[in-house]
Amino acid sequence: MPKVITSFSNPLVKRVQALRDKRHRREEGMFLAEGLRILTEARETGRIPRILFFADASAKHPLVRALIDAVEADYGEAIETTPDILSKLSGKDNPQAVVGVFDTFETLLEDLDRSAAPIWLVAERLRDPGNLGTILRTGDAVGAGALILIDECVDPFSVEAVRASMGALFTVPIVRVIWPEFLTWLRQGPGQLVGLSLQTENGYRDAPYAAPTFLLTGNEAQGLPEDYEAECDLLVKMPMLGKADSLNAAVATAVMAYEVLARHR
């Protein structure tokens, strides 16, 4: 039977709201996800929130009911609350019908099977959570084996990144690793490392791609470091016909991912 919380001063509300902060997420080992679509995606992949907040008005929706039943069957907490508290938890003036609290999770590099997919996404020092979430969506769309985050990237479990992923956080494995460890692992088996760079004459439509392709996108402002580019098997660039000198990191990754996917097909 769901509990009812209507007070902003409730300790659980304060504790869950604190998960919007990276330090608290690390301490608690939990993160926030909001919205019926994202939480349903999570449920369908077998990830059930430990705590589910939902508004009374949405309780009769069949997908909300399915979430409530799944949480209670998994010995979690289902909590009926007000739209104002949902807004406080999500940080949005127009809150979603549901907010879930999940345990953080991660995949280890050594657990990846590089033969499982022809394309893998690798991102180096991403700073924008929207870019990270969008790249996860691209990874889901092209059937990427994982998103491998190199060095100090933005937290994939931030509210903004989770929101931008539209559920792909739960469908695409995420690995966080430093560059030397990734490079050592990569060179222990098959895999072509393809870097996006302006420092090359290789057009992305003309380059030869070999599966499995590890598509490497650099930091939004600085691109890839020179020594990282030197380790790539292939550098490619996209033609810029206007005044802009580069594409947004997430957009460039999506364009490249579909080009590589088309070649492999």
* CB proximity list for 112: less than 8 A, separation 6 or greater: 145, 146, 173, 175
For residue 221, count other CB atoms closer than 10 A to its CB. Answer: 10
* CB proximity list for 199: less than 8 A, separation 6 or greater: 226, 229, 235
pLDDT tens digits, 151-174: 999 999 999 999 999 999 999 999
pLDDT tens digits, 199-216: 898 999 989 999 999 999
φ, ψ dihedrals at 90, nearest 5°: -85, -20
Lowest mean pLDDT among 85-99, 182-196, 197-211: 85-99
Q: 206-211 — which CB contacts under 8 Å span 24+ positions?
A: 207/234, 207/236, 208/234, 209/234, 209/259, 209/260, 209/263, 209/264, 211/118, 211/119, 211/264
Instruction: Summarize the confidence of residues 30-57 as an average pLDDT.
Output: 94
pTM: 0.93
pLDDT higher than 70, residue 193:
yes
The full set of domains in the chain, from first to last, is 3-103 (3.30.1330.30), 109-264 (3.40.1280.10)
pLDDT tens digits, 223-262: 999 999 999 999 999 887 777 766 789 999 999 999 999 9
